[in-house]
Structure 1
Amino acid sequence: MNYSLRIADLPTTERPRERLLQVGAKNLATAELIAILLGTGQGAGKLSAVGLGQYILQQLGADKREPLAVLREISPQELMTIPGVGPAKATTIAAAVELGKRAFQIRPNERTIIDSPDAAAAALSQDLMWQTQERFAVLLLDVKNQLLGLKVITIGTATETLAHPREIFREIIRQGATRAIIAHNHPTGSVEPSEEDISLTEQLLQGGQTLDLPIVDHLILGDGNYQSLRQITKIWNQFPQGD
């Protein structure tokens, strides 16, 4: 694509806004999505908005960093150090990133019903999804799966955390919950369970059987994605929870 062209000069089929309407936002390249935010204005040596979007991604990816990972945490002031990005463009991008984060999450309250992995992931997103350190949390539920509260049990390093079944069940009992969903995040973005994740889940399900406090699921979150261990493993068949 010729960076010297304006979006208005491109064929209709190559214009980001028209392409979004035709094929949907999820099918656009990241640079095209940024181009829509930036509009038709030019900068950084008269690059088109698409070209500027690609240039911004290149700058964010310096030092072999993942551009989108940097974009999630970057401030408007840092964006403005990129040639061609002034206050208007920087604040537009920052606002879009924050809106994207908020769109994935719900604000838990006493009436929230957690009846699916999707609902659980949404309730956990604010505390776990985008964190740079691994966190272990528990969603506290009543007998009708209404959300009583959310508690972050431990916060670890960038690569690991520690959570003991004793601490988890102590919190469940202290809050008067009758069942719970446990969850943690992987700062790497991978949501595949480790051997330690499987082992801890087995311990907790055994504890749930003993205490008659069902563990409904174990979710792993990261980088806008999540995995339900109940859906991808047979652990719940080995240790039925009576839920």
Structure 2
Amino acid sequence: MEENQKKVPAKRLDIVQVKLVREKTMLYKNRRIRSPHDAYELMKEFLGIVDREHFIVLCMDTKNQPTCIQTVHIGSLNSSIVHPREVLKMGILSNAASILVGHNHPSNDTTPSPEDIAVTKRLIEAGELIGIEVIDHLILCEDNFRSLKEEGYM
């Protein structure tokens, strides 16, 4: 070893494991998502009554049977900043064949914002890269919803 070189101390590296943890369960009587309305009913039951925007990911198997559901982001009264990595992480960890996403509008107006449309397109592109289909994006309100797929945004 040359005189000018200093010995660099070893760096400790963490050995980790990534896994999903079940917090609780809920019953879904229909077993399979057959329509946007089915997904709306399930998401609405999961979400309950909230005063801020919640972005939800519903993971499904190859038969469109829900396997898990999670709120991946809670925003403010009128916005929720969502990144594809947070949404798709859930799908990857649960080995989902597809996902269905949704978020609520506390204003009770189902009109999609430009941001809603942009995030939907980003999620579709990211899902295609990793092999998880984004089936639909629902905007949930108290007594109605809007499917961005049915509206032609996807």
TM range (shorter): 0.7 to 0.9
Q: Which structure carries more helix by proportion?
A: 1
Task: Check whether the contact 2:54–2:71 (CA below 8 A) recurs between aligned residues.
Answer: yes
The answer to whether the 8 Å contact 1:136/1:182 transfers is yes
- The Cα of 1:108 is off from its aligned counterpart by 3.9
Are residues 1:190 and 2:105 paired?
A: no
Q: Larger strand proportion, structure 1 or 2?
A: 2
Q: Give aligned pairs, total.
A: 129
* 1:108/1:194 CA distance change after superposition, 3 Å: farther
- Greater gyration radius: 1
Pair 1:136-2:31 in alignment? no
Q: Hey, what does 2:32 align to over in structure 1?
A: 113
Measured at CA, do residues 111 and 121 of structure 1 come closer, stay the same or move farther in structure 2, by a change above 3 Å? closer
Q: In structure 2, what is the Cα distance between the partners aligned to 1:229 and 1:127? A: 20
SS in 2 for 1:201: helix
Root mean square deviation of aligned Cα: 1.6
Please, which runs of 5 or more residues in structure 1 have no aligned partner?
1-106, 236-243
CA gap 1:196/1:108 in 2 versus in 1, 3 angstroms: farther
Please give the TM-score of this superposition, normalised by the length of structure 1.
Answer: 0.50
TM-score by length of 2: 0.78
Matched, 1:167 2:82: no
Stretch moving more, 206-215 or 126-135 = 126-135
- Say which of 156, 167, 174 aligns to 2:75: 156
Cα distance between partner residues in 1 of 2:87 and 2:65: 19
Q: Does the 8 Å CA contact 2:28/2:42 hold for their aligned counterparts?
A: no
Distance 2:107 2:153 in 1: 25
Tell me how far 1:134 sits from its aligned partner.
0.4
Task: Give how far 1:129 is off.
Answer: 5.8
8 Å CA contact 1:108, 1:123 repeated in 2: no
* Correspondence 1:126 to 2:45: yes
Does the residue aligned with 1:190 lie in a helix, a strand or coil? coil
